[in-house]
Amino acid sequence: MDVLIFIVGGTLAAATALIFAAMGELVAEKSGVLNLGIEGMMATGAAMAFVVLSLSGSYTLGFVAGAALGMVLSLVHAALTIIFRANQVASGLAVGILGLGLSSAIGKRYEGRTVAGLPENGIPFLSDIPVIGPMFFQQDIMVYLSILLIPATWYVLNRTKLGLTIRAIGESPEAAHALGLKVRLIRTGCVAFGGAMAGIGGAYMSTAYTPLWAEGMIAGRGWIVVALTVFGTWMVGRVAFGAYLFGSISLLELSIQAFGLNIPSQLMSALPYLVTIVMLAIISRNPTFIKLNSPASLGATLKLS
Amino acid sequence: MADAPPLLRLRGITKAYPAVLANDAVDLDVGTGEIHAVLGENGAGKSTLMKIIYGSVRPDAGTVEWNGSQVDIQSPAMARELGIGMVFQHFSLFETLTAAENISLAVSGTIPELSRRIREASARFGLDVEPDARVQSMTVGERQRIEILRCILQEPRLIIMDEPTSVLPPQGIAKLFETLRKLASEGIGIIFISHKLEEIRALCDTATIMRGGRVVGVCDPREEDARSLTRLMIGREIARPRHGAERGDGHPVLEVTGLNHTPENPFATPLRDVHLTLRSGEILGIAGVSGNGQDSLTQALAGEIETPDDRGSTVMLEGKAIGALGPYARRKLGLHFIPEERLGRGAVPIHTLSENSGLTTYHRGMVNWGFLNLGRRRKLAAETIERMDVRCGGTESTAQSLSGGNLQKFIVGRELALAPRVLIVSQPTWGVDVGAAAAIRQQLIDLRDSGAALLVVSEELEELLEICDRIQVMFRGRLSGSVPVRDTDMDHLGLAMAGDFDALNSSQTMKEPALG
């Protein structure tokens, strides 16, 4: 039973950073803006949150600072692609690289330091339920928020006028503009949301999941987020599933090391990335689903005659 | 109406683009309850004028009066606030959304509320629309009805309709006209853009005719005939195509039996048991509302879709099975294809005409030891430009810099230069102005007279009736039997296009059994 509790609890924690960043990227892509700078935004968010937390001792301030810096970076991407109509791939890569550099500059003097991790917050009554309690309700606050973010994202995208507008803009920005929808404003908002969520995801990495700062600690998770969004065919549920799959396999990696099995560690480290992408690619073969859910104008700037 | 100001009054509207004066001092008056035609060829400035009225383009000079007071329409949102609605030629619907969701983006209200209003308005104006259906599964007719409903539900006082009939079967056109007359009788002004003269004469109260950015005439179209309107519109008369006496020998060149294909795209129509025979020296027309499987058919014939014979279907070219061959191999055997999309499929937009002419001709002596023979390619492009009277900046101008009609002339010329034995053409004159369309049709007829076999897919029945020898109708992936052109007419074709293949032959004596 303890093993199960360890696995479920650990998976939730391991997936949290991905859930935040992936929901943000999903919203941005649904509006038609591809953001390849997630890795850099997560790294910057992680460094900023770690530094602010170290200086102030406040987790709230740390997360706010991480989110804010992630958002600022994403707004650079938004300005380049939405106002100046730069290529989204090139701009995203550039801003991502900028973010990685920025994170190393911000965290320079903190390299290798640790902080106390975000404390766990048992939910009263629920956490006392045997098995289920420790599995789900003995986590830190950000895990709960990330879980709530999933249905919230789904609801906004699929059941609100705002979500309808976002999806319409992602399918055809020209048609949306002709209807008088504020294409640039909404796209900028979606990108900013994505940046803030990436920042929070990064902040979670450096202040809760592994409460330390080391350059490169995001270790490709930003890229996994981009892959999750695409291979999850832009469906909230599938993207979240991919994130949890990634989380559980990274946990497996730790367990196998603990059991002392002699598998090359490089292979083990690569495993979560491989399995997640292969799994999502397999469940996402249905072309109908892809056509229905993919933002048709992803990567395209609004063209006005 | 003489005293009251008109609903919309334009005076001296001028709009210049870097290379062209799109509107030159254009005046236009539209009254309440009036159906006003704006007639002109492609590039006459109709679209620019409509964009100015709808607020998506700002004029350089001139005034717009709305209900007698001068306004400056800065955006589509503002146009809609004033009460100006527009139904676009290329639909501005979102495919992944339902009809009601599409409408809710432009009209306030919750989805259930809107669904109710949609049903009410559908009944009132005879516009069948299912609010909960997704757009991508709809026919073009349904899509257009949604556009019109979306427009009506915004309670506009003026509706601009940009070539609304180009996508409809004949019955659909009749129904659309009924709806428009009903709207006009309720006091809504309608601007109806078209280049189809008969429609304008049947529907409109007034016609403003544009050529080269200017108004060249305002008339009552019911008092003019098609010839006088044409002369105004293009400044000269259009010759009917000449049919030569020479023909091929009539032997079957391309034979297709039992062709089935389920496309990968889940929203494309599958082909079901398609049979056709294409003979030397004839043009076979495929009529049908677009989206009924024509794309799959042309792709299967051209080789973009390979159909190996293992599933009981055969595609035979001169007795040789070619189902398993790709487009290149089929081209080498003399089967050529001119697709509907000129930019991106018929030609590479950013490449020069010279480079584009090499695309389909490189196996004909354009390559020496792996090196392109650039001089020869340029010469070929220049010859094509010359022969087809393509208006462009020369062989080194890019494909995307040409107007649709000119590029189409170039592409047709490029294929004709290779003397194809079989030519598959999809929508040869779609979006092409009247003069260029006539030239292209004449070229196709000349090719037939030289003994080639042609298959022409078109939504324009007038065109098919004009150039084809036989017609088959496509509906939901099935192909009807063939009927000689002299034994059918618009009405019967229209019925067949709606799925009633038995109605195809007006003389009621079927020469071949209808299939499907």
Q: In the predicted model, what is the mean pLDDT of residues A195-204?
A: 98
User: Could you tell me the pLDDT band of residue A99, with boundaries at 50, 70 and 90?
Assistant: very high
Average pLDDT for residues A27-50, to the nearest whole number?
97
A172: nearest CA in chain B? B94
**Shortest distance, CA A230 to any CA of chain B (angstroms):** 17
Q: Judge: B267–A296 Cβ closer than 8 Å, yes or no.
A: no
Cα separation, B455 vs B100, in Å, equals: 39
Query: In chain B, which residues have their Cβ closer than 8 Å to the Cβ of A164?
Result: 97, 101, 104-105
* Distance of residue A143 Cα from the nearest chain B Cα, in angstroms: 33
Q: Does the pLDDT at position A305 exceed 70? A: no
Report whether B410 contacts B423 (CB < 8 A). no
Strand partners, B14: B61
* Residue A119 lies inside a defined structural domain of this protein: no
Q: What is the mean pLDDT of chain A?
A: 91
DSSP A1-35: -HHHHHHHHHHHHHHHHHHHHHHHHHHHHHTT---
The listed range with the strongest mean pLDDT (A143-147, A258-262, B171-175, B362-366) is A143-147
Does residue A123 lie within any of the structural domains? no
Q: What are the strands, taking DSSP E only, across chain A? A: 120-122, 138-140
Write out the residue range of the structural domain in which residue A218 sits: 2-114+141-293
Whether A248 is in a domain gets the answer: yes
**What pLDDT score does B91 carry?**
66
Residues of A in contact with B136 (CB under 8 A): 291-292
> B367-368 and B314-317 as β-strands: parallel, antiparallel, unpaired?
unpaired
Give the model's pLDDT for residue A178.
80
Q: How many angstroms separate the Cα of B260 from the Cα of each of B278, B314, B371?
A: 18, 10, 40
A149 within 8 A of A19, measured Cβ to Cβ: yes
Q: Is residue A130 domain-resident?
A: no
Residue B231, pLDDT score: 83
- CATH number for position A213: 1.10.3470
Q: Do A305 and B76 make contact, defined as CB atoms within 8 angstroms?
A: no
Q: Which residues of B touch A (CB under 8 A)?
A: 51, 56-57, 75-77, 80, 86, 88, 92-97, 101, 104-106, 136, 264-267
Q: Tokens standing for B96?
A: 């992944």
* Count of pairs with CB atoms under 8 A, one residue in A, one in B: 58
Distance from C-alpha of B308 to C-alpha of B175, rounded to nearest angstrom:
43
Q: E strand or H helix at A226, and its extent? A: helix A221-231
Given a contact cutoff of 8 angstroms between Cβ atoms, the answer to whether B427 and B340 are in contact is: yes
Using a CB cutoff of 8 Å and minimum separation of 24, what contacts does B49-52 make? Answer: B49/B10, B49/B13, B49/B23, B49/B210, B50/B86, B50/B160, B50/B162, B50/B191, B50/B193, B51/A305, B52/B10, B52/B13, B52/B15, B52/B23
pLDDT score for B507? 60
pLDDT at A259 over 80: no
- Say if residues B356 and B390 touch (Cβ distance below 8 Å): no
Residue A303 within any structural domain of the chain: no
B265 chain-A contacts, CB cut-off 8 A: 287, 291
Give how far Cα B422 sits from Cα of B42, B257, B278, B335, Å.
Answer: 30, 17, 8, 5
- Residue whose C-alpha is closest to residue B458's, from B304, B285, B337: B285
Q: pLDDT tens-digit profile of A202-215?
A: 999 999 999 999 99
pLDDT at position B1, please?
Answer: 44
Report yes or no: B107 and B114 within 8 Å, Cβ to Cβ: yes
By DSSP bridging, strand B61-66 and strand B8-16 are antiparallel
Task: Find how far residue A126's CA is from the centre of its chain.
Answer: 27
User: How many other C-beta atoms can be found within 10 angstroms of the C-beta atom of residue A89?
Assistant: 12
- Report how far residue A69's alpha carbon sits from residue A196's, in angstroms, rounded to the nearest whole number: 7
Which position has the token pair 């349904």? B142
Answer whether A164 sits within 8 Å of B101, measured CB to CB.
yes
Q: Which CATH superfamily does the domain covering B244-325+454-516 fall into? A: P-loop containing nucleotide triphosphate hydrolases (3.40.50.300)
DSSP secondary structure code for residue B399 in this structure: G
Q: What is the pLDDT of residue B108?
A: 86
Dist. CA B93–CA B329, nearest whole Å: 39
One pLDDT digit (tens) per residue for chain B, 516 residues: 446 789 999 999 999 987 678 899 999 999 999 999 998 877 788 888 999 999 888 999 999 999 999 999 998 888 988 999 988 766 688 988 999 999 999 888 889 999 999 999 888 887 888 899 888 877 777 888 888 889 889 889 999 998 887 667 677 788 889 989 999 999 999 999 887 788 888 999 999 999 888 999 999 998 888 778 888 887 777 667 777 666 778 899 999 999 988 877 766 788 999 999 999 999 999 998 877 889 889 999 999 888 886 667 789 999 899 988 999 999 999 999 999 888 888 889 889 999 998 888 777 777 888 888 888 889 999 999 998 888 788 888 888 878 777 888 899 999 998 899 999 999 898 777 777 888 899 999 999 999 999 999 998 888 899 999 999 999 989 999 999 998 888 888 988 988 889 888 766 544 444 443
pLDDT of res. B433: 74
Nearest beta carbon to residue B56 from set A178, A291, A292: A178
Q: What pLDDT score was predicted for residue B26?
A: 94
Shortest Cα distance from A28 to chain B (angstroms)?
18
Residue extent(s) of CATH 3.40.50.300 domains in chain B: 8-234, 244-325+454-516
Q: In this complex, do A168 and B105 lie within 8 Å of one another by their Cβ atoms?
A: yes
Q: What's the complex ipTM?
A: 0.83
Q: A-chain residues within 8 Å CB-CB of B105? A: 164-165, 168, 176, 179, 181
- Label the pairing between strands B158-162 and B21-30: unpaired
Distance separating alpha carbons of residues B28 and B112, to the nearest angstrom: 40
Looking at the structure of chain A, the number of domains it has is 1
Minimal Cα–Cα distance from B184 to chain A, Å?
23
Which of A172, A179, A293 lies closest to B106 in CB terms? A179
CB contact under 8 A, A179 and B75: no
Q: Which two tokens stand for residue A122?
A: 């048992």
Phi, psi of B252 (to 5 degrees): -65, 125
Q: Which CATH number fits domain B8-234: 3.40.50.2000, 3.40.50.300, 3.90.1010.10, 3.20.20.70?
A: 3.40.50.300
